Amino acid sequence: MNKAIITDHGFPSIEIQRRIVESAGFGLDEIQPICRTEDDVIRTCGEADVLLVQWAPVTRKVLQALPRVRCIVRYGVGVNNFDLDAAKDLGVCAANVPDFCVEEVSDHAMAMILSLCRRIPQDHHQIAHGGWGVNLLRPILAPSDLTLGLVSFGKIARRTAAKAKAFGFSIIAFDPFVDDLVFKEHDVRRVDLDTLLQLSDVISLHCPLVSETTHLINRTTIAKMKPGVILINTSRGPVVCEPDLIDALESQKMRGAGLDVFEQEPLPADSPLRRLPNVILTSHAASVSERAVETLQVKAAEAARDFLQGKRPKSALV
């Protein structure tokens, strides 16, 4: 029997996936304890035709060691734990679930933007430690006096832009891969990265993690930003060089940061980010709602089922 194997996941149950795959006449197994390394995947997944993967690395070494695997499906949008070049070279189909959390992540980004613009974390911190008053928190500017810069202009960033406009923000965006017509359709001004860094009062990161975006936010790019800028990251942790970010927050070059993702997850217990009063930290939770999690499970399972039925998954990347 052709089979899909779940290498790792964070769901309370896999009954949704089991129902979809098994009702089509295929097998579904999950690995316990979950796969964390290349060797874990190689050791446990030799009987798989399809791998359903959340965080486990699926590298060239893995794919070469598992010749039966002909399809890999990521529980999520990003595929930085997949070696797509290796998949293409070896004729392995790779798919993701691209649209399951557009509303959730854009909502999360907006919640962080508004909270930090209103200085809510700082005010909470001072009151919790016996303080009171707004003067230390000023200047507090109205959204209609602020420019929001979006790094990348995919679906999530576009929804963030639409929601931010309702509050009065001026919107600019940088994305070298999106057509000018898309910017015009959404009434967002297209700029280059340096211009975005120089003009934005709030910068929200929505880019994928690739070599060009790794540590995109670093000491050099931070130096180009306005004093008092706010940074939001709901994309991938390594887009930001955390030591440089911490320096900027401690020196007040940055007035605040909202971070849902980190270079190392879980965030280390001794990270200085945990003690800063001008940050919001969340546990890689931006994509989560009950609806989104169910959609993620359904779409990933359907991609696996479709491949096993001899169809190309709708969300296939290679």
Q: Render pLDDT for 194-238 as a digit per residue (tens, 0 to 9).
A: 999 999 999 999 999 999 999 999 999 999 999 999 999 999 999
Tokens in use for 45? 């997944």
Are 137 and 235 in the same domain? yes
Structure confidence at residue 170 (pLDDT) = 98
Out of 108, 158, 236, 255, pick the active-site residue: 236
* 26-79 residue pLDDT tens: 999 999 999 999 999 999 999 999 999 999 999 999 999 999 999 999 999 999
Out of 15, 185, 250, 265, pick the active-site residue: 265
Are 120 and 70 in the same domain? no
Is 315 a member of any domain? no
Is 313 a member of any domain? no
- The answer to whether 302 is a known catalytic residue is no
Structure confidence at residue 91 (pLDDT) = 98
Q: Identify the residue with better confidence: 61 or 1.
A: 61
Cα(178)–Cα(216) distance, rounded to whole angstroms? 19
Structure confidence at residue 72 (pLDDT) = 98
Structure confidence at residue 313 (pLDDT) = 98
- Please give the tally of structural domains in the chain: 2
At 298, is the pLDDT very low, low, confident or very high (cuts 50, 70, 90)?
A: very high
Over range 181-197, report the average pLDDT: 98
- The answer to whether 265 is a known catalytic residue is yes
Are 190 and 303 in the same domain? no
At 240, is the pLDDT very low, low, confident or very high (cuts 50, 70, 90)?
A: very high
Cα(150)–Cα(259) distance, rounded to whole angstroms? 15
- The answer to whether 215 is a known catalytic residue is no
Over range 291-299, report the average pLDDT: 98
The domain that contains 277 carries what CATH number? 3.40.50.720
Mean pLDDT of the chain: 98
Are 158 and 304 in the same domain? no
Structure confidence at residue 130 (pLDDT) = 97
Is 166 a member of any domain? yes
pTM of the full structure: 0.94
Are 186 and 302 in the same domain? no
Structure confidence at residue 180 (pLDDT) = 98
* Strand 50-53 relative to strand 27-30, pairing: unpaired
Residue 196's domain comprises 102-281
